[in-house]
């Protein structure tokens, strides 16, 4: 029988594959009540040119197809990073049974970091969440990705003649 760490290793492998494709390295794996992996995904935002193509969203869609129902009460989702508000909202809406995530996101996370949609009073469902599984590996992967991106980003050039262009009338100078 596999444990949370084992499933998170699968998600981390998917995150590394995403990074190799130039995607933000986030991976997600959905597991049913029998311990069977029923969905696996990595970020595809850049590839699909779709801001909603987060690993968690794709894995939730795959899991619903595998289960044959939109209600995922017996499913555990493993994600390498604390979910954003969009993904956390989708987890609540599909009645996810449990979330296990790697590194926290204190600013943008919605499972207790910046806010907590998974346990928000008034919503019809609450998702059990466990954070910190594989956190260091996940954090390091994200940090390395963004450090490399900053290093390889070309410096923006501002030509002096651009300064003489007329200011658009519909924009305020204030």
Residues with a catalytic annotation lie at 56
Cα separation, 166 vs 128, whole angstroms: 55
In 5-117, DSSP assigns E strands to 27-31, 37-42, 76-81, 98-103
Cα separation, 91 vs 75, whole angstroms: 11
Asked if 94 and 123 count as a contact pair (C-beta separation under 8 A), the reply is: no
Report angle CA 45, 48, 54 to the nearest 5 degrees: 30
């Amino acid at each position: 029988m596999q444990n949370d760490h084992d499933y998170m290793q699968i998600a981390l492998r998917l995150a590394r594959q995403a990074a190799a494709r130039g995607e933000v390295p986030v991976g997600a794996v959905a597991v049913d009540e029998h311990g069977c992996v029923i969905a696996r995904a990595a970020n595809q935002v850049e590839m699909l040119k779709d801001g909603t193509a987060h690993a968690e969203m794709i894995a939730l869609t795959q899991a619903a197809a595998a289960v044959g129902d939109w209600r995922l009460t017996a499913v555990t989702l493993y994600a390498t990073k604390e979910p954003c508000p969009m993904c956390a909202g989708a987890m609540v809406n599909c009645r996810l049974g449990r979330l296990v995530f790697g590194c926290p996101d204190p600013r943008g996370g919605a499972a207790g970091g910046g806010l907590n949609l998974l346990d928000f009073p008034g919503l019809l469902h609450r998702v059990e969440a466990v954070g910190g599984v594989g956190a260091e590996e996940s954090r390091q992967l994200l940090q390395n990705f963004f450090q490399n991106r900053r290093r390889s980003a070309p410096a923006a050039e501002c030509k002096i003649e651009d300064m003489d262009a007329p200011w658009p009338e519909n924009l305020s100078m204030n």
